[in-house]
Amino acid sequence: MTRILFYLNGYSHDVWREAFHAVDPDIDFRSYPDWGDPGDMSGDTYTLVWEPEHGLLKEYTNSKVTFSIGAGVDHIMSDPDLPTNIPIVRMADDGLKEGMAEFVVMSVLMHHRSMPELLNAQKQKEWARIFAPAASSIKVGIMGYGALGQKCAEVLRPLGYQINSWSQSAKADEKGVTHYTGMGELDNFLTNTNIVVGLLPNTEETTNLLNEKRLSKLPERASIINVGRGNLIEIDDLIKLLDNNHLSAATLDVFKEEPVPKSHPAWTHPKIIITPHIAAVTRPKTAAEYVVRNIKNMDNGQPLENVLNIQRGY
Ligand code: NAP
Ligand code: GLV
């Protein structure tokens, strides 16, 4: 018997239970706090969690795998009592990738076609006829070329954009994508990017990477879409460069502090679009298929997909 111990605040657990039972009606799906006795060793137990209470996972030493409901794992790694002997699998199901690609394509098109400026002009009843350059003249630079970054590139490419990627390790040659690797190539990547898409995990190395010095490397009128984690950007520096017209717009879905405090200047900045961390919200159907597939893989002695590397932090 497969048992899933599920922890997620603020969403219907019934939808998730139904999604798992559609894949396998025999799964024993348990919603927190009704997880049962941590000492119960009957059946095969797995946890599937988002922002679990600190110390909870340590109690359930019978869990064979911790599945993260999201691609990010900062919500699990912040637990000081996180058990180190249970593998953590990060979400990378098709629904999450497609959801992120939908949001990124929408945002890239909005930046390319000057939608933030046009919306401001409408508020002023100004007939501002802004002519857009061809997509083929625009370089979209994806910072973080993992599961989500690659899906975004796949969907953006047929629209005609030139794509750059920036990641930690070298990537194989790919038609239509120019790869940049590591800190040594970051400035070059930024100099060659008109629209930055932030898709990096929250780690020490990615924190405040986009500060005034690096944001200044971007060409005039470049813009930023941040959908990875808020730690990437020094937001005061970003606002400074939007105000002095070096940068033209920012769409920010993730922040160092969420929800963003009402007093934060980003809320009312005319060049900033804020969305409340919804770029890609895990979809129960494909997530259940992904988790069950991984459980089957494990049962068959196959490797788990997308296992967290604790040292790297993603
Ligand atoms: P992933 O597959 O692990 O990819 C992460 C990418 O970042 C990899 O290309 C990795 O390089 C690169 N990277 C990490 N640290 C780096 C560094 N120090 N320097 C250069 N590159 C670095 O992750 P994913 O599934 O694509 O997800 C990315 C992030 O998106 C998640 O961690 C999460 O925080 C965020 N997210 C946000 C939302 C939302 O709704 N806003 C939804 C889902 C996910 P290598 O390829 O060389 O390893
Ligand atoms: C969402 O932020 C995720 O990490 O999936």
What distance in angstroms lies between residue 41's CA and the mean position of ligand 1's atoms? 35
Mutate to test the pocket of ligand 1, among 106, 167, 255 (most ligand atoms within 8 A of CB): 167
Q: pTM value?
A: 0.97
Looking at residue 242, its pLDDT comes to 98
pLDDT at 95: 98
| Active-site annotation holds for 129 | no
Using alpha carbons, select from 239, 231, 250 the residue that is nearest to residue 107: 250
Distance 181 CA to ligand 1 centre (A): 14
State the distance from the centre of ligand 2 to the C-alpha of 282, rounded, in angstroms: 8
Burial class (CB in 10 A: 0-12, 13-18, 19+), 197: buried
Compute mean pLDDT per 10 residues along the chain, 314 residues long, and list them.
96 96 97 93 93 97 96 97 96 98 98 97 98 98 98 98 98 97 98 98 98 98 98 98 98 98 98 98 98 97 97 96
Q: What is the pLDDT of residue 40?
A: 84
Write down the pLDDT at residue 43. 85
Query: In angstroms, rounded to a whole number, what is the distance separating the alpha carbons of residues 185 and 13?
Result: 44
Q: pLDDT per residue over 11-42, tens digit each?
A: 999 999 999 999 999 999 999 999 999 988 78
Position 39 scores a pLDDT of 87
Q: Which one of the listed residues 90, 112, 214, 229 is annotated catalytic?
A: 229
Decide if 277 is catalytic. Answer: yes
The string of DSSP codes covering 26-75 is T-EEEETT----TT--SSEEEEEESSPPTTHHHH-TTEEEEEESSS--HH
How many C-beta neighbours within 10 Å does residue 83 have? 14
280 vs 42: CA distance, rounded Å = 35
Specify the length of the chain in residues.
314
